[in-house]
Structure formats: structure tokens, C-alpha cells
Amino acid sequence: MLNLVPFVSVDRMMKLVHHIGIDRVLTDLATAIEADFLRWGQFDKTPRIASHSDVGVIELMPTSDGETYGFKYVNGHPSNMKRGLQTVTAFGLLADVETGYPVLLSEMTILTALRTAATSAMAAKWLAPRGATTMALIGNGAQAEFQALAFKAVCGITEVRLYDIDPAATLKCARNLEGRGLTITACRTAEEAILGAQIITTVTADKTNATILTDNMVGSGVHINGVGGDCPGKTELHRDILMRSSIFVEYPPQTRVEGEIQQLAPDHPVTELWQVIAGQTQGRTDNTQVTLFDSVGFAIEDFSALNYIRSKLAETGLYEDLDMIADPDDPRDLFGMLLRAA
């Protein structure tokens, strides 16, 4: 009996998203991630295992709920764009804890973009001003359209104001979002982009301590979705913004090293997002509060996304089987299996 492992290639992933519909996939992923956050205590949790270099980072992101184990391989190389390469690429795997056998291998470059956007929108559902309709989207690269569509699908955003230091990126983003039910405004500066926005999303790629938002740019009552700061030495927000914000994070031991809060003291108070979802603490408490979701991405979100894709395989048939696991007639005779293949 062959132990075949379902594999979702880039081509099959794209077809799966189109088969289900991108808005539906984003809302389904937000629901799946929220459900797993509600059972936060069941998961093994560890900061991602990172190998840093002068040009980027390569990471492993593992977790398990005791029944299924999952991990993602992901890189972040901002200079890749100059070579015509993706800044972020990824693949992921699920395995059965009881046997250790893999049960899914999948591309995760596209899936990571989807799950990141879904997590952002899921967090904003709990933290953003009630009735928010306008989002500023600063940084219009590979992640931008996913963020815009997730906030539309999950939070009801109707207007997106775009800004990027590269006008070509803004034009690309605006073109891709045409006909998607959003009013799109291309802006010449970050200051212009945030005018009238109740939600500000920053999703830039440079691996530096940048100041995308200064303190005087951020008024009271807004929600900030900080996505781009996701490794040591990479931030987007001025420290003074953090000092007057209510800060919500995924997993503090990871975020304090990688997120915006690496700029703060190690004991600066933050709230874990799962506690808000579980009703253990409050999210937004008044109309003047500045809330910040310091998003760095956590393994449980990848676990949720991979399990969602796995649940859609029988329905869509959009996978192929890989012969990845040696299957000798006698489990003790692996060498005999090799000899018989000659």
C-alpha cells in the first residue's frame, strides 16, 4: 500500500481560490483562524526559528494541537524584488501526530498572503472603530490587494486610500482592485492617504527601522494594522505612537523580538489577541482609543490555513498525490525494498 501525500502546487492553489472565490476564501480563513485562537491553550507555541543574514531571513514556524503537527518554511528577502523575485516565498506541511506521517504538503506563498490578510481583518473586527468604512493602505506591494479585499470581505470597508514610495506599485494595486467593489484613491503622500481613514494598514518591505508613520500623523480613535515590521531591526511606526496605543499581539515572546514593540521595554504592557476573542479582556473600549495590532505572523495562523486547504481537497480535487513515504512490505526491511528496485 502506497502512502501518498496530497500536494497542492501553486497552480492548484490558484485554481482552488478561484473555484471557491477569493472573498469566500478570505472570510473562511478569518473564521478558521479565529476558531483556532479560541483554543489557544491546546497548541504548542514557540517563536519561529529564524536564520538571519545580511540580505534576509529564512524561518521555520512549527506548532501542534496534539493531533496534527504543522510547520511552514518561509523566507523574507526585501532585495529580491530588484532581481525580479518574490520578497516572500513559503511552503507548508501537516502531519499526523499519532504516526508522524505527513498528510499534506502545500505551496504557501499565495496561502501566506491570504492568511496574513485574513488575520489582519479578523483582528480589526475586534479592534477597529465600529462602522469603519475607509482604510489607508501604505505599502502597495505583493500583500496589498489581499489586505484590501480581506478588510472589505470581513470588516465591510468600502474605500481604500493607497500610497507607496514607488508610484508604479500604487498604479498596479489600483488596477488590480478595479471592479472589486471598492472605491480606490491613489495618493501622493502617506499623509494624504490617511486623511479620513479609520484604519491604517502599513505593509512595507524594507528590512530597516523605518518611520512610515510619525506620531503627529495618527489621530485619536484609529486602528493601526502594522504588518510590515516582522523581524529584528525592521519597524514601521514611530515609538511615540506605540506609547499612546493599546497594543494587541499574537504571541508576545515572538512579537517582542520581531514586532513594533521591539522598540519598547521588555515589560511594556500588551494584550494577546486570543484573550480578546475569548472574552477574557476587552479590545476597543472607547471612540478615542488608538488600537494597534502588531502583526508579525504566528504558526497557528499557518496551521489554520493549511487545515482549511486540506478540508477543501475532496470537494475541489485540486491536488496531486506525491510518493513521499517509503512503504516496504516489511517495515524492518527498508534495504530489501531498495534492492528490489534495481
Examine the domain organization and report whether 44 and 161 are in the same domain: no
Residues 64 and 89 in one domain: yes
- Give Cα separations from 92 to 103, 104, 300 (angstroms): 11, 8, 12
| 231/306 same-domain check | no
When comparing pLDDT for 258 and 147, which is higher?
147
Instruction: Name which of 72, 62, 67, 68 is nearest 95 in CA terms.
Output: 68
Expressed as residue numbers, the domain containing 318 is 3-110+300-340
Distance CA 234, CA 213 (A): 14
* pLDDT recorded at residue 188: 96
Residue 210: predicted pLDDT: 76
Are residues 207 and 262 located together in one domain of the fold?
yes
Average pLDDT over residues 184-203: 96
- pLDDT of 171 higher than 90: yes
Residue 255, pLDDT > 80, answer yes
- The enclosing domain of 333 has a CATH number of 3.30.1780.10
Confidence class for position 208, pLDDT limits 50, 70, 90:
low
Average pLDDT value for residue range 5-19: 98
pLDDT for res 81: 84
Beta strands in 171-262 (DSSP E): 183-186, 199-202, 209-213, 223-226, 235-237, 246-249
> Is residue 74 located within the same domain as residue 33?
yes
- In this structure, the answer to whether residues 237 and 266 fall within a common structural domain is yes
- pLDDT-derived band at 204, boundaries 50, 70, 90: confident
pLDDT over threshold 70, residue 175: yes
- pLDDT tops 70 at residue 1: no
Query: How many domains in the chain?
Result: 2
Report how far residue 187's alpha carbon sits from residue 52's, in angstroms, rounded to the nearest whole number: 34
Residues 158 and 249 occupy one common structural domain:
yes
Mean pLDDT (the chain) is 95
Question: Max alpha carbon distance in the chain (Å)?
Answer: 73
Q: What is the pTM of this model?
A: 0.95
Confidence check: pLDDT of 207 > 70 = no
Query: What mean pLDDT do residues 127-139 have?
Result: 97
Determine the average pLDDT of the residues in 61-80: 95
CATH number, domain with residue 199: 3.40.50.720
Q: pLDDT at position 209, please?
A: 65
Model confidence at 284: pLDDT above 90:
yes
Q: Are residues 88 and 136 in the same domain?
A: no
Same domain, residue pair 233 and 311: no
Residue 234 pLDDT more than 90? Answer: no
Between 50 and 78, the more confident residue is 50
Find, among 210, 185, 208, the residue nearest to 195 by Cα.
Answer: 185
Same structural domain for residues 96 and 44?
Answer: yes
Active site residue 230: yes
Same domain, 169 and 315: no
> Is the pLDDT at 229 greater than 90, yes or no?
no
Q: Are residues 123 and 97 in the same domain?
A: no
SS3 call for 60: strand
Catalytic residue among 28, 36, 164, 230: 230
Q: b/e for 48-75, b at 16 or more Cβ within 10 A?
A: bebeeeeebbebebbbbbeebbbbbebb
